[in-house]
Amino acid sequence: MIKFFRKIRQKMLTENKFSKYLMYAIGEIILVVIGILIALKINNWNELRKTNNNQEKYLKLLKVESLKNLKEVNRYKDLVTNMHSSQLTVMNLIDANHDTISESYLSKTFVNIFGSSYSFDYENSTLSELKNSGELKNIRNDSLRKYLTALEPLVLKIQKVEQDVEISLDEVTEYLQPRISFRKMLIESDTEIYFEIPNSTKPRKSIIPILENEEFENRLLTYTLVTGNLNKNHYPKLENHLKKIIDIIGKELNNK
């Protein structure tokens, strides 16, 4: 097409028809501009299609990741709920008649409190990739982008509270070590563990008198409070946050 216009232009110049040459020159310029605009439009369309495909891929991965995190949060919330319930039981036993408490019952309750520690296993590989690749800014839904941005600070706060729970657990455990027999506690609780604890005929002191120890009560109270805070405030907040992300992603994918 450009070659065709070039021949006409040369002919017009040869015949000294400047006005006609000018019209053809303008036509040639218009054709070039239209060609550039079409090329830009196609390029923009291809980029938009690529962005939409990437976004759909990331949305599906984010949904899987969020569902996994939600399942983990619910699992840990149940575990910590049981542990917190045992903490409250011991706090009540401190004020009860100690003569009515059995060694076995208190040992089982102690094992529930001091036998395990819990830390939420957060999965964020997809969200990290989104941030590192700069694709997060391409998430069109403003609410979803806001929730995704706020997710990691929320998890970091929970991890900090989990560390506080771990510290409180260590403080109570360290206080108990020289004051009660852990071997007696495990044997009396009849707890199933990964290895067999050799029984012993050697008499060991009852663990019940520790309930009269004020320092133990203070440490247990601190441990109970931070655990309750984690379980009643922070885990539910993260649970609701993840549910909102899953809900928004589901609606976005249904609209595609």
Q: How many CA atoms does the CB half-sphere of 26 hold within 13 Å?
A: 6
Domain housing 144: 64-254
CB atoms within 10 A of CB 206: 16
Quick check: is 34 in a domain? no
Give domain status of residue 14, yes or no: no
Count of alpha carbons within 13 angstroms of residue 125, beta-carbon side: 5
Q: Is residue 104 part of a domain?
A: yes
- The tens digit of pLDDT for each residue in 12-44 reads 445 555 555 556 556 667 766 676 766 666 655
Q: Percent of the chain having pLDDT more than 90?
A: 57
pLDDT at 197 over 70: no
In a domain, 56, yes or no: no
Q: Residue 186 falls within a domain, yes or no?
A: yes
Give the Å distances, CA to CA, from 39 to 31, 33, 43, 125. 12, 10, 6, 37
pLDDT of residue 7: 59
Asked, for residue 50, whether it belongs to a domain, the answer is no
Q: How far apart are CA 165 and CA 225, in angstroms?
A: 9
pLDDT tens per residue across span 137-183: 888 889 999 999 999 999 999 999 999 999 999 999 999 999 998 88
- The number of folded domains in the chain is 1
Q: 90 lies in a domain?
A: yes
Place 210 in a pLDDT band, splitting at 50, 70 and 90: very high
Measure the CA–CA gap between 230 and 242, rounded to whole angstroms: 17
pLDDT of 194 reads: 42
Residue 34 to residue 57: CA distance in whole angstroms: 34
* Mean pLDDT along residues 196-211: 77
Residue 78 lies in a domain: yes
Which has the higher per-residue pLDDT, 24 or 228? 228
